[in-house]
Structure 1
């Protein structure tokens, strides 16, 4: 659109159009809309200024082929603007960790560069006028100096954008570390509870001799009903110290007892068949990270499936120096698209990489399989 207004006013109108479209139509946050609108205008004007200076230098050297030079410079400017915009789109593509507070920090340097460009155009004009022999009439400026200023402004713009990307990456990393720390604290709680159960089990076993003496005494006095009742109490007490899934690792047993118990309460059929090697380099905390995240994801997927069809199957086998874990669960096609992504799977991959292993996922229409391979 061509407005018969001054260059700064035209720039303000362009900014208002972009701001209105981004905020009202695309429903973007105001800070993000403002930064990207100013950045879009700044890139366009800086690149046009660069190739205007280049064109001015070449026109004086290539006269009378001025038209050809200007066409080539215009096409090159369009190409640079296109790839610059692609980089900006990639940088500002909406991500879960995007912070409008951090985006707001970009307003000042980008706006400053835009004001500098506006000052240049206001001072020297936006059009170069030459006479019939190709010599400049207006404006009387140093093209090389102006080119250096414009190129510096261009790289300053993208230095700011690059700094923002690094800031966002750091913000995302901090968020992941905070979630991982929270998870580690949870696993530490499991390990403390395991120690408590272990102490209770030792005390129960220590008292078994006394329990047998009481049972023997009741049987000798033919008080069979009291003996059966006492035996039932012992059985109940025994069950409080046992785990539904016996893996050979008390920490994992307690974790699975808690997680699979929650799954059963939700009506999910659970099957567990595995033995964890006693002599391996796998840390208990790492095992908890793998099973905790995998089972949480499995339970979440099963909640989208009819209760009678939901299931979780956990199995593991040792083959030579490798320990292979497979967790299979039901899912539906609608939920399948989002399965296998997120922080949980990232944590599992991190554990696998720690032990020179690998993680693979297998999507099917009604089930999902997670395979974890660890070198033990």
Structure 2
């Protein structure tokens, strides 16, 4: 408004210019340039957001595809094991009868390994979210980070699954990044539970003792399209679901608490 009224005064005051037409033309061009710059900047920000969202959706689809292939492979192993359960029990019994305890133990471990492999792939029961968690779990293992969780039987209600998967993925990225800086006792604990009409998520991770992490963005991700996209995007998603986000820093750990409303008003 200030710029508008100033421009009206300047344009209608001929004495301000030795050549009024030139002066007014200059002002017109200047304001058009400013307006164009503002419009272009907003367009660019919006375009980058759309481009980033599409890239993330594509990445999530690829992760889901990879995860489904892993599930299919493990399920086939489990079906074969169940089909051959009688034969396997007969073999174990034969080993025990012949006092070949080590061979019996090895076969039992092999059979249990199939079940454990299947259970390790199921985190919440939702493919989109489980594929993201499985991807972050693999990254955590590479960096010697102990990961534990308690997230089964989550109720999502009206929460968009892809947005929830993105939120969890970004939060775990931040937790992994913080753990990387810790020399010993690297760990992440992920918990999700329902409380009345809300989904409550807790992510606890180790930090360098007596430090204060900055919670404004992910600062150092291998995935370039998520660079600087962390906490702000989490806050946006939380806001869309009338929720709340809090960071509680202890001596050697930080606890992220996210609350999302599962039912729209």
What is the TM-score when the length of structure 1 is the normalising length? Answer: 0.52
Change (3 A) 1:225 1:162: closer
TM superposition shift of 1:349: 4.2
In the alignment, the residues of structure 2 paired with residue 285 and residue 169 of structure 1 have an alpha-carbon distance, to the nearest angstrom, of 22
Q: Which runs of 5+ in 1 are unaligned?
A: 1-46, 58-125, 129-140
| 1:283 to 1:205, Cα distance in 2 relative to 1, 3 A | farther
Match of 1:295 among 172, 178, 186: 172
1:336 aligns with 2:221: no
**Hey, what does 2:55 align to over in structure 1?**
179
- From 324, 331, 337, give the equivalent of 2:200: 324
Whole-angstrom distance in 1 between the partners of 2:113 and 2:70 = 19
Check if 1:312 corresponds to 2:197: no
SS at match of 1:306: coil
Partners in 2 of 1:297 and 1:254 — Cα distance? Answer: 18
Instruction: Identify which of 13, 24, 27 aligns with 1:54.
Output: 13
Distance 1:52 1:375, change over 3 A: closer
Quote the Cα distance in structure 2 between the aligned partners of 1:275 and 1:214. 35
Task: Classify the secondary structure of the residue corresponding to 1:275.
Answer: coil
Counterpart position of 2:29? 153
**Please, which runs of 5 or more residues in structure 2 have no aligned partner?**
1-5, 219-227
5 Å matches for 1:1-376? Answer: 51=10, 54=13, 56=15, 143=20, 145=21, 148-193=24-69, 195-196=71-72, 197-220=74-97, 223-243=100-120, 247-249=123-125, 251=127, 252-253=129-130, 255-277=132-154, 280=157, 282=159, 285-308=162-185, 310-332=186-208, 336-337=213-214, 339-340=216-217, 342-349=228-235, 351-352=237-238, 356-362=241-247, 364=249, 366-376=252-262
State which structure, 1 or 2, has the greater radius of gyration over its C-alpha atoms: 1
Whether the 8 Å contact between 1:361 and 1:368 is mirrored in structure 2 is: no
Report the alpha carbon displacement of residue 215 of structure 1 after superposing the two structures with TM.
2.2
Q: Which structure's residues are more often helix, by fraction?
A: 1
CA drift of 1:327 comes to: 0.8
Length-normalised TM-score, structure 2: 0.70
Please give the secondary structure, in 2, of the residue aligned with 1:307: coil
SS of residue in 2 equivalent to 1:192: helix
Query: Deviation digits for residues 69-104 of structure 1, max 9, x if unmatched?
Result: xxxxxxxxxxxxxxxxxxxxxxxxxxxxxxxxxxxx
Equivalenced residue count is 243
Aligned partners of 1:353, 1:206: CA distance in 2, in Å?
49
